[in-house]
């Protein structure tokens, strides 16, 4: 009976925390929307920035990474950006995300001399920081930013801190991700975003 009570208490706590996070995030929606829409609507950008995700342990592109790269390549072939910049270090294994994405993009027909890589970023804030730093070195002022759809709002809020013109382009979600997994992913992103806005971004 005691164990059942403890389980019910945990479920109640989780439910309460979920409602609280949902409420806080709802209050922050105007802030998020402003961050994402304050920039001019332009059809072409200096660079397409593709945010990394962990590669497989054999240093092959995983499904999330493939979908992000595919979106970046699609935009590049449409003439949306002059260059593609892949950003991401090795976080979960010894495979550098930017380099794995570069290899995959080349296999999809993008010339190596059209690709830029940023290999230091270990989180979304660093993706933005190091990518924008590289942009400024190249005199670039605008970017089309590609990431997974559940990650869009958090990435958008981060890039809003760096004073560039940008727009967000969501990649497709992998077909093998179930609705429950997608829901949990979105919920996790909402939790992280709320935490970042309240307590600041990790550098």
What CATH number was assigned to the domain covering residues 41-199?
A: 3.40.50.620
Range 134-162 average pLDDT? 93
Mean pLDDT for the chain overall: 83
Structure token digits, residue 13 = 């706590």
Residue ranges per structural domain of the chain: 41-199
Helix (H) or strand (E) holding 128: helix 124-137
Using one digit for the tens of pLDDT, what is the confidence trace for 1-14? 666 666 656 655 55
| 11-15, 61-65, 126-130, 182-186: range with lowest mean pLDDT | 11-15
Structure token digits, residue 40 = 């001019």
141 with 135: CB under 8 angstroms? Answer: yes
The pTM score is 0.78
Contacts of 51 (CB under 8 A, 6+ apart): 68, 87, 88, 124, 127, 145, 146, 147, 151, 155
Name which residue leads in pLDDT, 185 or 138. 138
**For residue 17, what pLDDT is reported?**
57
Using one digit for the tens of pLDDT, what is the confidence trace for 60-119? 999 999 999 999 999 999 999 999 999 999 988 999 999 999 999 999 999 999 999 999
């Amino acid at each position: 009976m005691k164990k059942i009570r403890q389980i019910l208490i945990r479920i109640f706590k989780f439910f309460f925390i979920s409602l609280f996070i949902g409420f806080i995030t709802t209050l922050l929606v105007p802030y998020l929307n402003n961050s994402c829409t304050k920039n001019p609507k332009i059809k072409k950008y200096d660079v397409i920035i593709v945010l990394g995700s962990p590669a497989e342990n054999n240093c092959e592109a995983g499904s999330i990474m493939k979908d992000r790269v595919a979106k970046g390549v699609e935009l590049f072939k449409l003439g949306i950006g002059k260059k593609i910049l892949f950003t991401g270090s090795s976080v979960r294994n010894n495979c550098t995300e930017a380099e794995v994405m570069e290899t995959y993009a080349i296999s999809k027909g993008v010339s190596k001399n059209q690709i830029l890589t940023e290999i230091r970023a270990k989180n979304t804030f660093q993706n933005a920081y190091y990518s924008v730093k590289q942009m400024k070195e190249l005199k670039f002022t605008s970017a089309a930013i590609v990431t997974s759809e559940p990650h869009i709002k958090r990435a958008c809020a981060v890039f809003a801190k760096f004073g560039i013109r940008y727009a967000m382009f969501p990649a497709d979600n992998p077909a093998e991700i179930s609705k429950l997994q997608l829901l949990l992913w979105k919920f996790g992103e909402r939790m992280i975003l709320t935490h970042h806005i309240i307590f600041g971004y990790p550098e």
